[in-house]
Amino acid sequence: EAGVTQFPSHSVIEKGQTVTLRCDPISGHDNLYWYRRVMGKEIKFLLHFVKESKQDESGMPNNRFLAERTGGTYSTLKVQPAELEDSGVYFCASSQEANQPQHFGDGTRLSIL
Amino acid sequence: GDSVTQMEGPVTLSEEAFLTINCTYTATGYPSLFWYVQYPGEGLQLLLKATKADDKGSNKGFEATYRKETTSFHLEKGSVQVSDSAVYFCALIPLSGTYKYIFGTGTRLKVLA
């Protein structure tokens, strides 16, 4: 079974540009989560999808971040415009049921110059 | 609010040494507790978990016991190997009905041959 796949693995952009991160969850997993780790600090929750619906987006930092999951399969996280403080590692995770342990992808390292 | 506190790293040990990584939490009721590990260049992998007080999670020689009296979930291993070098994250899922992980800051372990 393929794991959670994220791409790109690394993205370097300039402040003010737009970047889109993609996550492909494990097949059949209705629950998809986004997290990020900024500057070696704790990993923080961003949002939770159940199929195509946003179940909890309380961790989204501001309206420059837009997450979508059209069709309830893969998800994208767009940052527009990117700011310096958005640099970090963005993790995606999925689970079949919400109360089951989450499976994480390798993360996308985002560097804003 | 709910939180997880981990000992700061890095922790450097010689091969076959005993490992303890401290983790304490603040939460309402009895959350589920987890240890995740991130090997170099990889994503987060679930190492072990415990869902109720006095439960002991174990995997790959690692153990952690859910102690409600001390609100702790310390990670231990009797004899570490070079291959255990990684970043270890303690995490909880609160009882609030949401399924977002709350992570500690991570502890980097380096094992020397």
Write out chain B residues lying below 8 Å of A41, CB-based. Answer: 105
- Judged by a CB distance cut-off of 8 A, whether residue B88 touches chain A is no
Confidence of residue A72 (pLDDT cuts 50, 70, 90): confident
Strand ranges (DSSP E) for chain B?
3-6, 11-14, 19-21, 23-26, 32-38, 44-50, 56-59, 62-65, 75-77, 86-93, 102-103, 107-112
Question: How many residues make up chain A in this entry?
Answer: 113
Report residue A59's pLDDT band, with 50, 70 and 90 as the boundaries. Answer: very high
Residues of chain A with C-beta less than 8 angstroms from the C-beta of B4: 42
- Is the Cβ pair B45, A107 closer than 8 Å? no
pLDDT at residue number B95 = 77
- Token pair listed for A4: 């959670």
Pairing of β A108-112 and β A10-13:
parallel
Identity of the residue in A31, A33, A106 whose CB atom sits nearest the CB atom of B43:
A106
**What pLDDT score does A95 carry?**
94
Report the pLDDT value the prediction gives residue B16, as an integer from 0 to 100.
96
**Chain B nearest C-alpha distance from A87 (Å):** 17
B11, B110 Cβ separation under 8 angstroms:
yes
pLDDT beneath 50, residues of chain B: none
